[in-house]
Chains A and B, each alone.
Chain A
Amino acid sequence: MSVITVERRAATAGPSRAAPRRRGRPHPREGTVLFLIALLGYVVLGAFLIHHDLLFTDGLSRVGNGYYVLFSRDPHLAAVGFVWNPLPSLAAMIPLLGTPVWPDLARTGWAGVIVSAACGAGSVALISACLRRLGVGRPARFALTAAFALHPLTALSSADGASEAMFTFWCLLVVYPLLAWVRTRDPRELLWAGLALGLAYATRYEAVAPAAAVVVGVLVWSAITAQERRWQFAVNDAVLVGLPVLASFIGWAAASKLIVGEWFATFTSEYGNSAQVSAGRVSIDVSTGRGALPAVGYLLEQTLWMAPLLGALVLLAGILAWRRREARVLVPLAVFGAVLIFADLVFVLGTSFGWLRFQVGAVPLTVLLAGQSLVLLRPASRPARWVAITLPALLILVLPLQWLGMGNARIAREEVYLAEQARLGVHRTERQVADTIDALGLPDGSVATDVAYSYGIVLASRHPRSFVITPDRDFEAAIADPTGHGVRYVLLTSPEVGAADAIAALYPGLYADGADRAVLVGAWGEGIQQWRLYEWHNAP
């Protein structure tokens, strides 16, 4: 008789599946409530903006990039394009899946609004979490969170479908774990900060600035605080926080090189940022003044409007932190400070439009520095209590002024231009063009157009497949020999707007009079942006 047998465990009082139960995490109720309130607010604001045709063109064009991947005549992932970093478009693809049920997701840009509102609401929850982590008490925390959430730059970027909301969200997701890491040096925090940086780069290329600042900051702080083998630990920490953003950077560049042949299309493509800025150089100079010195003055003006207390708070928080040896103040300074310095620097160097929304980082920075200052002041006596009340109050009281600033034609050029466009009914015209083309009942691939400009029309169309668009893999061939490819029409915008239109470039004079190749069959719009539909001679 062997002593070795095979029997099942006899049932005991204990649980039969001994795996530990998933313990319920403490319910983050405050964050959830803030998120839901902010989400509701931003969606309502988004509805208002959509109703008045006030969505940012930038946001709409990113929705377009996601839309072509799913619903164009040639749906493929590379249609997402390589000029703008892809995450906002990829995220918009999720709501866009509902387009067949609710066409307005694409037609009026709701998909972008949903994404930006979710990111904005997430940022509101995160900023409150950061303030709590700093130790800011509840009344001040709510006041500061409100000052962040109701600031026009935060609120508009969260409601208008632009990518700034997502970028701010990732940046706050870098700040939050780092605030803990500075004290605990728990490498887990670096894991989350590193991943958030990687995603930030996938959202906007400005992320290189906070990434560099964070990697250097982590390296130095780790070396200062390590007990032994300083530099080994420091390098390990820096690699941990920097690897995802490096991978994101290399991965995006390599994908871009492989598919469109350019490493950094946003700087080298004729549709990219650099090309747009040089095309808009004259108008930028007219509004902001020519040269570096007026540029600095212009930025100061923008900052004074949007974050009047920023300078004072950097000083105050800096002095307090120095005296109390509080290194956490460096975290928001490194992350959002780098974002702002980068945005300002490229403007001074003349490679940026200097739009007001590029200053959006000043809002979370102001709020976090205010929170940090309150915490550092707290133990002191009467003046501290006085500041604790006035500082959050002041930040809220200046909000109406800042909303007024959004109508200032000098500092808020893009916003004012947008309102102008809306008054002219630019988006309404686009929808009208789409409806007219739809009514022709054309087969797939009948209308060639460059969606760098006509994204609004393709998004508004109920038959997006009737367009041959720039991301299509047969676009080049189709516009070189339109009739041979079954292309009957070409849709063009005025040369003032469509400076780099691929079709207009191939056929000079086409927009003006058809260049003896095509006959005008439709024209829409007034002012600077007009649309013309030409039908090719001997069309199929």
Chain B
Amino acid sequence: MTGIVSSDADERLRASVSALADAAPEFSAQRVVTAPQAVSGLILIAAWVALALATPLVAAQMLVGVVTVGYVAAVVYRVLLFCRGVGDRHRTRVSDAEAKSVPDAELPPYTVLVPVHREPLIGELLAHLEQLDYPRDRLDVRVLLEADDTETIAAARATTCPPHVILVLVPPAEPRTKPKACNYGLVDARGELVTIYDAEDIPDPLQLRRAVVALRRLGPEYACVQAQLGYFNSTQNVLTRWFTVEYGTWFAYLLPGLIAVGAPVPLGGTSNHFRTDVLRSVGAWDAHNVTEDADLGIRLARLGYAVGVLESVTLEEANSDPINWVKQRSRWYKGYLQTFLVHARRPWATLRDLGWRGTAGLVLFVAGTPCLTALNGFFWALTLMWFTRHPAWLQALFDSWLYYAGLLCFVLGNLAVLYMNVYTTRQLGRPDLLVAALLSPLYWALMTLAATKAAIQLVASPSYWEKTTHGLHLSPTDKAEP
């Protein structure tokens, strides 16, 4: 163990909490909703309420119409992304031989940030990181610990850390978020490149080398490559199976699809490999955003950088517990909505930065993902109600053209997503997940729950970070061992 860094803590802490908010408040979720946004929102609501008081049916039909059109647009966009992403031209592939052929002397210093919080499994984590094929003298692994997380610190101190691993104690301060810890670790990072792994990740051993080659090949306008995520416990239960299929579609088709259509790519939480100088120059992570990764992807695009998808898999732990899953998912959805609100503050600036294609991606994918999920459940409920009870108000609500368009898109949209999942299992070489893919409508019910929770929480406590419990793949006896 080299030592625990905790010097000049105040200045570092200030930078990691509010550097972005100080330098460019318009990019930070420190305030989720700005005054003009709040005013225009209230005006819209007031106008609708006024309309509803005057002609309730028209107001309701209008709302349903807008919702249906939004739903259809988001579904169509998803299918479009999938079709464009199916060709594998938009993923960067670096062969094993090419990755290994770079001489050690030509590899840049690499910082690996590992934020941990209440993770007593730190020994297991360090063992996985030791698998990375990268010269140790160029590796700068920083385990980021909350200074008051005594349990993890004790476990870390009990583990023998190799010299390239340092433990960084992050002083306790609000907000208690992963991006704050990452910023804290980034301030004095030594690497030319920097990446993040979660505590339980098992990265492809050649991933760092591949990222070096990929970023050199792609050129300076690429700030980052995102590696693909998969799950090591994908067959633990049906939830982890669904999760695996979903991630397969996400990383193999939807993200490459976004690149193909020229839309910004919301990054995933781990295994994204940045140029350190660029990351610092764009304000790094927003400590106040609960999906700082997705937000950073959008910000990179707005500031003129591109993101690539790297063909290399990091295995994570899929959430196997429904309650825990809903917590994690609702945080993601909340963060997506937060991110959308941040970038929708100055619509013209966003449109200028991203172009219409990029802005369409921001609206239809970043805001669209949680909204689509919530609406899908809503439409399922309406459809079930229609078939079982046939209420007259429902018929009145849906004007005939709207009814047909909505029903058709609802049916075709759900089928299309189901079909994409079946394709994904085959293309991933995971036909054992076929049954889960066919049962995915049940997964959507959980997603709706999470999306609804996210919407409520966005209003109630926008920056609250729902901690995801890890280590659920271990049996209780494993955990009980010292």
Binding site for B on A (CB under 8 A): 2-9, 12, 14-20, 22-23, 76-77, 187-188, 190-191, 194, 229, 232-233, 235-237, 239-240, 243-244, 247, 251
> Which chain B residues border A3 with CB–CB below 8 Å?
15, 187-188, 280
Interface pair B431/A9, CB less than 8 Å apart = no
Contact A4 B434 (CB under 8 A): no
Q: Contacts A8-B303, A247-B415 given: A17-B15 contact, CB under 8 Å? A: no
Assembly CA distance A374 to B260 (angstroms): 41
Do residues A18 and B281 form an inter-chain contact, with CB atoms below 8 A? no
Q: Decide if B362 is an interface residue (CB 8 Å cutoff).
A: no
The answer to whether B282 and A232 touch across the interface, beta carbons within 8 angstroms, is no
**Chain B residue contacts of A188, Cβ below 8 A:** 86
Q: Which residues of A contact B411 (CB under 8 A)?
A: 251
CA distance in complex: A16, B305 (Å): 8
Per-residue interface assignment for chain B, residues 37 to 78, with 1 indicating a CB less than 8 Å from any chain A CB and 0 otherwise? 000000000000000000000000000000000000000000
Instruction: Give the nearest-CB partner of A258 in chain B.
Output: B387
Question: B23: which A residues are within 8 A, CB to CB?
Answer: 2, 4-6
A7 to B306, CA, bound (A): 15
B315-371 contacts to A (CB < 8 Å) = 355, 357
Q: Which residues of B contact A77 (CB under 8 A)?
A: 400, 404
CB < 8 Å: which of A2, A14, A229, A239 contacts B15? A2
Check if B310 is an interface residue, CB within 8 A of chain A: no
Which B positions have Cβ atoms within 8 angstroms of A?
11, 14-16, 19-20, 22-24, 27, 86, 89-90, 183, 186-188, 219-223, 259-263, 278, 280-284, 303-306, 355, 357, 400, 404, 411, 415, 418-419, 422-423, 425-427, 431-432, 434, 438
In the complex, the chain B residue whose C-beta lies closest to that of A75 is B400
A14 touches B221 (CB 8 A): yes
Pick from A16, A18, A20, A232: contact of B434, CB under 8 Å: A232
Contacting residue for B283 out of A4, A187, A194, CB 8 A: A4
What are 10 sample pairs from A and B whose C-beta atoms fall under 8 A apart? A2-B15, A2-B187, A3-B188, A4-B15, A4-B19, A5-B23, A6-B283, A14-B219, A20-B89, A194-B419
Q: How far is the CA of A206 from the CA of B402 in the complex (A)?
A: 32
Chain A residues within 8 Å of B86, by CB: 188, 191
Residue of B nearest to A18 (CB): B306
Using known A-B contacts A4-B15, A4-B23, A244-B419, determine if residue A187 contacts B426 with beta carbons closer than 8 Å. Answer: yes
- Interchain nearest-CB distance for A540 vs B (Å): 28
What CA separation (Å) do A15 and B426 show in the bound complex? 36
Q: Is B426 touching A240 in the complex (CB atoms < 8 A)?
A: yes
Interchain CB contact under 8 A, B283 and A5: yes
Return chain A residues, CB-CB under 8 Å to B304.
8-9, 16
Contact A4 B219 (CB under 8 A): no
Shortest Cβ distance from residue B399 to the other chain A in the assembled complex, whole angstroms: 12
Instruction: Tell me the nearest residue of chain A to B411, going by C-beta.
Output: A251
Instruction: Indicate if the CB atoms of A236 and B431 lie closer than 8 Å.
Output: yes
Residues of the A chain whose Cβ atoms lie less than 8 Å from the Cβ of B90: 20
Q: A187 vs B252: C-alpha distance in the bound complex, in angstroms?
A: 14
For B283, give the chain A residue with the smallest CB separation.
Answer: A6
A187 to B411, CA, bound (A): 24
- Residue from A7, A12, A240 in contact with B220 in the complex, judged by beta carbons closer than 8 Å: A12
B221 touches A18 (CB 8 A): yes
Contacts of B281 in A (CB 8 A): 5-7
Q: A9 to B404, alpha carbons, bound, how many Å? A: 47
User: Known: A4-B284, A239-B434. Is A19-B221 also a contact (CB below 8 A)?
Assistant: no
Interface centre among B14, B188, B306 (most CB of A within 10 A): B306
In the complex, number of A-B residue pairs with CB atoms less than 8 Å apart:
115
Q: Given the known A-B contacts A6-B24, A20-B90, are A239 and B422 also in contact in the complex, defined by CB atoms under 8 Å? A: yes
| B303 in contact with A7 (CB, 8 Å) | yes
The answer to whether A7 and B282 touch across the interface, beta carbons within 8 angstroms, is yes
Contact status B431-A4, CB under 8 Å: no
Q: How far is the CB of A114 from chain B (nearest CB, A)?
A: 24
Measured in the bound complex, the distance between the Cα atoms of B304 and A16 in whole Å is 6
Partner of B282, one of A6, A19, A23, A243: A6
Q: Is B434 within 8 A of A235, CB to CB?
A: yes
Question: Which residues of A have CB within 8 Å of B187?
Answer: 2-4
Note all chain A residues with C-beta closer than 8 A to B422. 236, 239-240, 243
- Distance of B297 from chain A, by nearest CB (Å): 13
CA distance A537 to B22 in the complex (A): 88
- How far is it, in angstroms, between the C-alpha of A12 and the C-alpha of B305 when the chains are bound? 11
Q: How far is the CB of A239 from chain B (nearest CB, A)?
A: 6
**Set of chain A residues within 8 Å of B306, measured between Cβ atoms:** 18-19
- CB-based contact A4/B222 at 8 Å: no
B221 touches A4 (CB 8 A): no
Determine whether the beta carbon of A187 is less than 8 Å from that of B303.
no
- CB of B28, distance to nearest CB on chain A (Å): 9
Given contacts A4-B280, A19-B306, A251-B411, contact A76 B434 (CB under 8 A): no
Which residues of chain A come closer than 8 Å to B431, judged between CB atoms?
229, 232-233, 235-236
Contact of A20 with B15 in the complex, beta carbons under 8 Å:
no
Give the nearest-CB partner of A194 in chain B: B419
Q: How far is the CA of A12 from the CA of B223 in the complex (A)?
A: 13
Determine which residue in A18, A22, A76 has the highest number of CB atoms from chain B within 10 A of its CB, and name it. Answer: A18
Task: List the B residue with the shortest CB-CB distance to A7.
Answer: B281
Q: Quick check: A6 and B20 within 8 Å, CB to CB? A: yes
Q: Are A236 and B425 in contact (CB under 8 A)?
A: yes
CA distance A76 to B418 in the complex (A): 29
Task: For residue B91, give the distance in angstroms from its CB to the closest CB of chain A.
Answer: 11
Q: Chain B residues with Cβ under 8 A from A190's Cβ?
A: 426
Chain B residues closer than 8 Å to A232, beta-carbon distance: 431-432, 434
Interface centre among B187, B278, B426 (most CB of A within 10 A): B426
Query: Which 9 residue pairs are nearest across A and B when measured between Cβ atoms?
Result: A18-B306, A19-B262, A9-B304, A4-B19, A236-B431, A232-B431, A6-B24, A2-B15, A6-B283
The distance in angstroms between the C-alpha atoms of A236 and B261, with both chains bound, is 29
Contacts A8-B304, A9-B305, A232-B434; A2 near B282 (Cβ below 8 A): no
Q: What residues of B have a CB within 8 angstroms of the CB of A16 in the complex? A: 221, 304
Partner of A237, one of B24, B186, B426: B426
Are A187 and B427 closer than 8 Å at their CB atoms?
yes
Bound complex: CA A206 to CA B260 (Å) = 39
Q: Is the CB of B426 within 8 A of A18?
A: no
Task: With a 10 A CB-CB cut-off, give which of A4, A5, A191, A244 has the most chain B CB atoms.
Answer: A4
CA distance A191 to B20 in the complex (A): 45
Contact between A2 and B19 (Cβ–Cβ < 8 Å)? yes
CA distance A76 to B402 in the complex (A): 12
With A3-B187, A14-B219 already in contact, 14 other A-B pairs whose C-beta atoms are closer than 8 Å: A4-B20, A4-B183, A4-B187, A4-B284, A5-B23, A6-B27, A9-B223, A9-B278, A16-B304, A18-B306, A20-B260, A187-B427, A232-B431, A237-B426
In the assembled complex, the CB of A225 is this many whole angstroms from the nearest CB of chain B, namely 14
Residues of A within 8 A of B305 (CB): 9, 18
The listed residue (B221, B259, B415) touching A15 by CB distance below 8 A is B221
When C-beta atoms are compared, the residue in chain A nearest to B408 turns out to be A77
Question: Shortest distance in angstroms between B289's beta carbon and chain A's nearest beta carbon?
Answer: 14
The CA-CA distance from A237 to B425 in the complex, in Å, is: 10
Q: Which residues of A contact B259 (CB under 8 A)?
A: 19-20
A19 to chain B, nearest CB (A): 3
| A76 and B399 alpha carbons, distance in the complex (Å) | 11
Complex alpha-carbon distance, A233 and B16, angstroms? 49
Within the assembled complex, what's the spacing in Å between the Cα atoms of A229 and B425? 13
